[in-house]
Amino acid sequence: MVDVSRQPDICFAYDMTIDEIRRRRAVLEAIGEDWDPVQAMAEEDAASRMLYSDLDDEQQRIFDELVRAGVLPDRS
């Protein structure tokens, strides 16, 4: 049995810079060269507007509650 109380403190450090570079490279490769972030945001905004349009009264009430609670963004 090893007496761990007499073991020196071990300091372990790992530089994640190279892993972060690999991760970012993989993301950019997956996105592709023709990705347009402005167009992507515009399409996402349009999809969000469509999702929350034509709500019935009960759905609108719940939507308004979620906006007031900060769960959904206020788009007004």
Q: Which two tokens stand for residue 30?
A: 């997956």
Model pLDDT, residue 60:
95
75: pLDDT confidence band, cut at 50, 70 and 90?
confident
Compute the distance between CA of residue 29 and CA of residue 36 in angstroms, rounded to an integer.
14
pLDDT tens digit sequence for 37-66 = 999 999 999 999 999 999 999 999 999 999
